[in-house]
Amino acid sequence: MKAVILAAGEGTRMRPLTTTHPKVMLPVANRPILEHIIKSARDGGITDFVCVVGYRSDMIRDYFGDGRQLNIHINYVEQKQQLGTAHAIGTVQDLVDDRFIVLNGDALVKSSDVYSLMKHREDAVMAVKEIKDPGKYGVVKTSGGRIIEIIEKPERATSNLVNAGIYLFSDSIFESIRKTGRSKRGEYEITDSIMRLVSDNAGVGCMLLNTWIDIGMPWNLLDANEFLLSDIKTEISGEIEPYATLKGEVVIGENSIIRNGAYITGPVIIGNNCDIGPNCYIRPGTTVGNNVHIGNAVEIKNSIIMSGTKIGHLSYLGDSVIGHNCNFGAGTKVANLRHNGKNIRVTIDKGSTDTGRRKLGVIMGDCVHTGINTSINVGVTMAAGRATRPGEVVMR
């Protein structure tokens, strides 16, 4: 059985991180999101993949190639216009067998769930997940283990089951896709194709997922990072100087050096060719990419630091996502908690969005430089390539 992975979109709600990278190539636990998804499917028993690509597809092709390094095979289909999920799936008709699964390139799922989905015998199966706040998703109604209705982002949800964007299809889905018109958003939606099957009494099964982490917003990267770090085991490939301290599960990459006085509490991943310390504190839930420098009197907590970034000295950073090749001037401080303790809101698509998080620092695009003694308020996003002046306070 083959797996089709939908990986064509930019992920506009993930800006500024996707200004320079496709969403599926953003790193979590020091690997692209897409790599984690492919590995889960591979471990679930799939070795043949079709990736539907579009936005900055060269990055995906260059990184994965034909998939040989992961002991799999990958074909690519270019979706030149992102016209919706049904349109994306329709582009792979000539590359799949009579039965295949579909995975979203921005949702983590465990290999055991992939394996269970493959065992279903129905012609169409939708994977669902029970969540506390279903109104932001497509809410699914079921009866007798079958899908009977999908309601997109209802004001009042009558079910806690949501569509996880993971499916098993037979080739009969392509006829339904051909009959699917544009939605109110102007796209061809696979949920409309599935409801056409329901209307035709084709019988669409549902499967409840054990694990599903949807990475729809920048701060969801922190959720995914925490989930993946929970499974790591200590592996030291670099140099640890005598008076550095490592507690818990910590991974140190090749040619990295942890200098005297550094205190690291896992789970933490530090990539290759990094220079850490002296006298810094890296707290749990942190992932540090390759070629990163973290210097004297720096404290980092529950954050993703992408490759090439320099945080030299006298800085604090918590609950944040930092892009590639950023540079923190001395004394840069990032706030991550409101004084009133309420949830932090972030501006996405010109509107204010409740993150559901009490702690969130900065979402910083690539190549941002901060001047010395810069202060950055909670929930701030900083566009790629921007800079701050010495002593500047960034409020929003």
Token pair for 72:
């799999």
Contact between residue 33 and residue 104 where contact means Cβ atoms under 8 Å apart? no
CB 219 within 8 A of CB 202: no
Half-sphere exposure of 46 (CA within 13 A, CB side): 33
Distance CA 298, CA 259 (A): 13
Task: Determine contact, residues 178/172, Cβ cutoff 8 Å.
Answer: no
Rounded distance, CA 259 to CA 366, Å?
27
- Cα-Cα-Cα-Cα torsion 143, 148, 152, 156, nearest 10 degrees, comes to -50
Residue 5 three-state SS: strand
In the set 36, 293, 313, 324, the catalytic residue is 313
Q: How far apart are CA 289 and CA 56, in angstroms?
A: 21
Residue 313 annotated in active site: yes
Q: Amino acid letter at 103?
A: L
Which residues are catalytically annotated? 313
